[in-house]
Amino acid sequence: MTKTSLTHWYFHCVYFRTSMRSMKRRVKKLDMVTWLLFLMVVILFVQMTRVYSSMPLIPSLPWSRDTDDFQDRLEAILHRPTWMPESWDKQHPDLERYWREERLRRQVRKRLRGTSLGLTRSEIRTRFAKRVLDRLRKGDMSNERMLSLLVRGQIQHYSLENKFNVVSKRQRETSRSSREELLCQLKRQVGRWTLSGTEEPFSGLGWAKLVPNATVEQLYGERLKTCAVVSSAASIINSGLGKEIDSHDAVLRYNAAPTEGYEEDVGTKTTIRVINSQILGSPRFNFSRSELYKNVTLLAWDPGPYNGDLHRWYQEPDFDLFSAYVERRRRKPSQPFYILHPSYLWRLWDVIQGNTKEDIQPNPPSSGFTGIMVMMALCEQVDVYEFIPSRRQTDLCHYYDYLENRACTLGAYHPLLFEKALVRRLTHSTERDIGVKGRLSLPGFRTIQCDT
Ligand code: NCC
């Protein structure tokens, strides 16, 4: 070996050793970097799934929370981080709907930024609800844009869905009807308001014999002078209204709202119960056994298609109310039990829409509004408790459970806010009566004169 090649080898080895050392250092460094990268990917993944699961309109992941309810969806909108990668959104097929909601999100954010003076978001939301309800109590609904900010998102969502194929656009309010005109419009809707069993497909199933012989009007005749309607709102807690409610000839309650344990505030008497089809169709309400549904007149409802196709309704009700109805009628034929005609619900909906400037949710009116109309058809005077919440208003949903959801009061699925605005226009009750006492009075339809 020559001297040069030896030197060459020597330098080669030295070079190799130093490069190996630096490689090792690099690998060590790389190790840390890899670990850090890995950690970041994990964190990012967790964050992404959280964001994804709180995103409205995107199909739920198995571990995501259910965003079906609009209030939840609105919460999700409000809490959603702003750094969502756009490309991700664009993969979503329901883009149009997503961007509509995005616009709403921006408006809500802008509004919140403007008012958030050291308040938490839930405080702001509560204040916002209070402001809407204050205006509702005063009957000051001139600025309907304010209402729509709260409900616009859900209306958009439900309008796009239009589950019941409602044809609404031609029916918005153009000029404001007087109280008397409104009352007459509603009175005219009373007529065929429960199923008689003679309609197809029910007649073919022998329902003419199943449905009670006497109609609801025949059942009560003109006996009922004063009637009370008790909303299930939590604002009735601490009202001490129980005795006053019981002093009425008849009392109407809703769904699974109990009296036991709440007598002081809601009274003890129940004459009629308006129940939605969930009560009949969902096992958790134990309809066949529960004492709540015994010894009272029952009026059940389920939204059929807007066009009145009873065949389709019978095939595809929201909840299967028909089996439970047939079973109960066979087991307890003496109990007055009726199903509200879907066309009656939609006729009421038409009146609400026809007297509102905006497009309302294309979903049926709430049990609350329907029950008020039922009592107005049967009684001379109707006192409605906590339909428009008093100053005891709270974000709690019901007086009998701990669910907190402002949609119960302002509406999500049902056009509740518009129903409340309409009922406010029907009453002469003072702001004090509504705000302090939690009561508003309405005349029975038979006390008002209308041109036919
Ligand atoms: O909650 P709900 O209504 O049973 O209430 C009956 C009526 O009281 C009025 N209300 C209630 C709570 C509140 N904070 N403010 C109010 O003004 C409303 O007028 C309401 O209609 C219904 O209308 O049938 C509804 O039913 C519930 C639910 O199906 C039943 O309680 C059975 O559990 C619906 N909630 C859900 O589906 C989650 C509600 O949207 C409408």
Q: pTM of this prediction?
A: 0.76
* Burial readout 48-84 (b: 16 or more C-beta within 10 A, e: otherwise): eeebebbbbbbeeeeebeebeebbbbbbbbeebeeee
For residue 405, the model assigns a pLDDT of: 77
Q: How many domains does the chain have?
A: 2
The whole-angstrom separation of Cα 417 and Cα 425 is: 13
What pLDDT shows up at residue 373? Answer: 97
Q: What is the pLDDT, as a whole number, of residue 205?
A: 95
* Same domain as 36, residue 139: no
Contact residues for 369 (Cβ-Cβ < 8 A; gap 6+): 348, 352, 414, 416, 419, 422, 423
Are residues 92 and 205 located together in one domain of the fold? no
Q: For 96-111, how does the pLDDT look when each residue is reduced to its tens digit (9 = 90+)?
A: 555 666 666 666 555 5
Q: State the closest ligand 1 atom to the C-alpha of 397, by its place in the atom list counted from 1.
A: 14
Looking at residue 50, its pLDDT comes to: 62
User: Which of 379, 420, 427, 358 is CA-nearest to residue 169?
Assistant: 358
Query: Do 82 and 189 fall into the same domain?
Result: no
In a domain, 20, yes or no: no
CB of 232 closer than 6 A to ligand 1? yes
Integer angstrom CA distances of residue 262 from 227, 233, 240, 296, 375: 19, 13, 10, 18, 23
Look at residue 226 in the predicted model and tell me its pLDDT. Answer: 98
196 lines ligand 1 (CB under 6 A): no
Residue 123 near residue 416, CB atoms below 8 Å? no
Residue nearest atom 12 in ligand 1 by C-alpha distance: 233
Say what the pLDDT of residue 67 is.
39
Q: Is residue 130 part of a domain?
A: no
Specify whether 317 is located in the same domain as 252.
Answer: yes
Question: Are both 379 and 326 inside the same structural domain?
Answer: yes
Same domain, 191 and 102: no
Q: Does residue 238 come out as left (phi exceeding 0), alpha (psi in the -120 to 50 range) or beta?
A: left
Rounded CA gap, 391 and 290, in Å?
33
Q: Whose CA is nearest to atom 19 of ligand 1?
A: 368
State if residue 367 touches ligand 1 by the CB under 6 angstroms criterion.
Answer: yes
**SS3 label, residue 439:** strand
Please identify every stretch of the chain with a pLDDT value under 70, giving residue numbers as ranges: 1-9, 11-16, 20, 23-30, 49-128, 141-151, 168-172
| 240: phi then psi, degrees, rounded to nearest 5 | 65, 25
- Would the CB of 408 count as within 6 Å of ligand 1? yes
Does residue 388 belong to any structural domain of this protein? yes
Q: How far apart are CA 276 and CA 284, in angstroms?
A: 14
**What's the pLDDT score for residue 138?**
77
- Whether 149 is in a domain gets the answer yes
> What count of other Cβ atoms lies within 10 Å of the Cβ of residue 436?
14
Q: Are strands 297-301 and 337-339 parallel, antiparallel or unpaired?
A: parallel
Nearest residue (CA) to ligand 1, atom 15: 409
Q: Are 237 and 324 contained in the same domain?
A: yes
Contacts of 370 (CB under 8 A, 6+ apart): 274, 301, 340, 345, 348
The CATH number that applies at residue 325 is 3.90.1480.20
**Together in a domain, 53 and 173:** no
Decide: 228 and 250 in contact? Cβ < 8 Å.
Answer: yes
DSSP letters, 315-383, are HS-SS--HHHHHHHHHH-TTS-EEEB-HHHHHHHHHHHHHT-SSPPPSSPPPHHHHHHHHHHHH-SEEE
Are 275 and 255 in contact, with CB atoms under 8 Å apart? yes
Q: Ligand 1 centroid to 383 CA: how many Å?
A: 19
Same domain, 98 and 234: no
Does residue 199 sit in the same domain as residue 282?
yes
| Ligand 1 atom closest to 234 (CA) | 14
Q: Report how far residue 106's alpha carbon sits from residue 85's, in angstroms, rounded to the nearest whole number.
A: 16
Q: Which domain holds residue 80?
A: 26-58+66-109
Give the contacts of 82 (CB within 8 A, at least 6 positions apart).
Answer: none
* Ligand 1 in reach of 194 Cβ (< 6 A): no
Distance CA 64, CA 53 (A): 5
Q: Are residues 157 and 203 in the same domain?
A: yes
Q: How far apart are CA 176 and CA 138, in angstroms?
A: 17
Give the DSSP H or E segment for 273: strand 272-276
Residue 290, pLDDT score: 96
Ligand 1 neighbour 54 (Cβ under 6 A): no
